[in-house]
Amino acid sequence: MGAIEQQTHIQDAGWTPLLLVICVTVTIGTTVPVGYFFGVLNAPAAVIKRWCHEILDSEYDTESDADDLNLLWSFIVSVYLIGGICGSCFGAWFSNKFGRKGCLLISCMLLLISALLFAFCRVTKSLELLMLGRFAGGIASALIFTAQPMYLLELAPNSLSGSVGVFTCIGVTGGILLAQLLTLPELLGNEQLWPHALAAYALLVLLCLLPLWRFPESPRWLYLIKGDTAGSEAALQRLRGKQACVQQELQQLQYTQSNMNKAHTLSQALRETQLRLPLLLVCILQASQQLSGINAIFFYSLSILTEAGFSASFATWLNLGLGSFNLCASLLSPLLLHRFARRPLIFISCALCAFSLLCMSFALYFMLSTQSLALRYVCIVFILLFILGFQLGLGPIAFFIGSELLEDAGRPVAMSAGSLFSWLGNFLIGMCFPLLQSVWSSFAFLPCMCVCIFCLLFSWRYLPETLGREPKDVAPLMSKGLRSKVN
């Protein structure tokens, strides 16, 4: 009888058509545009730089040399990351004030405003519109990174937390690939159409905006934060469809509410010993995800490939192939995270990333010194191995681990703080990697390797296993801070 009840429980807690539609729609309308922002400036950089040079001369009466133009371009690239850092600072407040879905709707509005600024920057000959568009997109992306993982995880039953959690990573990798494809010179990445390339993601936002408006809000937010019991029950009824399952989850929410503290601010969370280690884990995993080298590869992939001796046209298509492999590897994540524990996946991921970066650095060094044609392809093999290792654990798990480590009161703060560290890591890579590359050449990836090793050791010591566990069951394992023993 117990086995039959357990089987029924698992069946009730599985996928439903509405949940699958929500996951796909929200991913296409929010995280794919975020990935698009990451990859859209890579291929058309030279074209946009020439336009910036013309605008400086004609509209601002400024004679700019190569150094001035590179400084301006660095700011155009990094202002998106600055917007992300700013957005992360109030992501938790937005998620609690307007709800998870409400925060995503606000993000969509900001993305559309950003697209309009891009579309008109060339016509109006305005560098300011281009920069404002990047800044607004950064704020929207930070809100998405805070709210989207929480929204999907709070809609899904506990048995699917890993499966729905990876949609964030899939969306980002899909957006990078879409940007690489649309910014090919044969499509939108040319002198006439580059503003449309920057704004093309708006079609996805518009396509998903109306369905998103009709989707249910997070039942946990409605019940625990807003106090709307009837609204929470109605949302669960739409999501689960079976009254027994709905009543069971409502009972769990009632129990959680009776034992839940008020929503935390970051300063309040840091004063509570039992929350410090979970917050630290979320921040370190998010920062390590960005500092691992994945963004260095995709930010500067064209320059790396041309430095390896490939022609510019071949390097562009090869870069598109890397983006395709990145997306395919991310599609393995739902299956892996549904079946395998988080800790071993993180360990394997970090170890494989560190090994790949070490081997790639030496392969690049010997290739440049010997001009060996064979070593070009060895470098590509290690880049592919790194991408595969990243998507095994470090890529997807970092996005949603905060929702599995912390209960409802501390969850928005943790996700917002993790997002902040993610953007800071991204900004650091964007600013420092070119300098490291100019000084250390092929060995510029070694600091990224050290980050992967540190993340492996810290996770081995402090990261508890969360698969199949409620946050309330995981919390006691981290209650003593850095003196905790998770095994």
Task: Give me the number of domains the chain comprises.
Answer: 2
Instruction: Establish if 455 belongs to a structural domain.
Output: yes
> Mean pLDDT, the chain, as a whole number?
85
- CATH number of the domain that 430 lies in? 1.20.1250.20
The residue segments making up the domain with residue 339 are 264-487
Residues 297 and 185 in one domain: no
In this predicted model, which residue has the larger pLDDT, 365 or 386?
A: 386
- Region 337-347: what's the mean pLDDT? 89
Residues 277 and 208 in one domain: no
In this structure, are residues 38 and 179 in contact, taking their beta carbons and an 8 Å threshold? yes
What pLDDT is attached to residue 1? 35
Residues 77 and 210 in one domain: yes
In this structure, are residues 126 and 103 in contact, taking their beta carbons and an 8 Å threshold? no
- Region 294-314: what's the mean pLDDT? 72
Cα dist. 478→272, 346, 466 in Å?
12, 18, 12
Instruction: Establish if 225 belongs to a structural domain.
Output: no
Task: Return d(Cα 94, Cα 392) in angstroms, integer.
Answer: 31
Residues 272 and 197 in one domain: no
Q: List CB contacts of 357: < 8 A, sequence separation 6 or more.
A: 293, 382, 386, 445, 446, 448, 449, 452
pTM equals: 0.85
Nearest to 185 by CA among 298, 301, 315, 66: 315
The answer to whether residue 78 scores a pLDDT higher than 80 is yes
Task: Return d(Cα 485, Cα 487) in angstroms, integer.
Answer: 6
In this structure, are residues 199 and 119 in contact, taking their beta carbons and an 8 Å threshold? yes
pLDDT tens per residue across span 132-180: 999 999 999 999 999 999 899 889 887 777 778 889 889 999 999 999 8
In this predicted model, which residue has the larger pLDDT, 441 or 386?
A: 386
What pLDDT is attached to residue 11? 42
Residues 182 and 272 in one domain: no
Lowest mean pLDDT among 130-134, 206-210, 402-406, 458-462: 402-406
What pLDDT is attached to residue 62? 74
Residues 14 and 120 in one domain: yes
Cα dist. 274→47, 177, 473 in Å?
52, 40, 13
Task: Return d(Cα 441, Cα 79) in angstroms, integer.
Answer: 26
Instruction: Quickly list DSSP for 266-290.
Output: HHHHHHSHHHHHHHHHHHHHHHHHH
Residues 449 and 307 in one domain: yes
Task: Return d(Cα 322, Cα 448) in angstroms, integer.
Answer: 19
Residues 398 and 315 in one domain: yes
The answer to whether residue 82 scores a pLDDT higher than 60 is yes
Cα dist. 469→161, 395, 466 in Å?
10, 21, 5
What pLDDT is attached to residue 352? 96
Instruction: Establish if 16 belongs to a structural domain.
Output: yes
Q: List CB contacts of 175: < 8 A, sequence separation 6 or more.
A: 31, 32, 33, 34, 35, 36, 37, 38, 39, 201
Nearest to 461 by CA among 439, 442, 434, 481: 481
Instruction: Establish if 241 belongs to a structural domain.
Output: no
The answer to whether residue 201 scores a pLDDT higher than 80 is yes
Task: Return d(Cα 229, Cα 220) in angstroms, integer.
Answer: 10
The answer to whether residue 304 scores a pLDDT higher than 80 is no
Instruction: Establish if 420 belongs to a structural domain.
Output: yes
What pLDDT is attached to residue 67? 75
Residues 207 and 271 in one domain: no
pLDDT tens per residue across span 254-301: 877 776 665 566 666 667 777 888 899 999 999 999 999 887 777 666
CA geometry: angle 12, 18, 23, nearest 5 deg: 105
pLDDT tens per residue across span 2-17: 333 333 343 445 788 8
Structure tokens of 234?
A: 């109605």
Residues 199 and 116 in one domain: yes
Residues 87 and 183 in one domain: yes
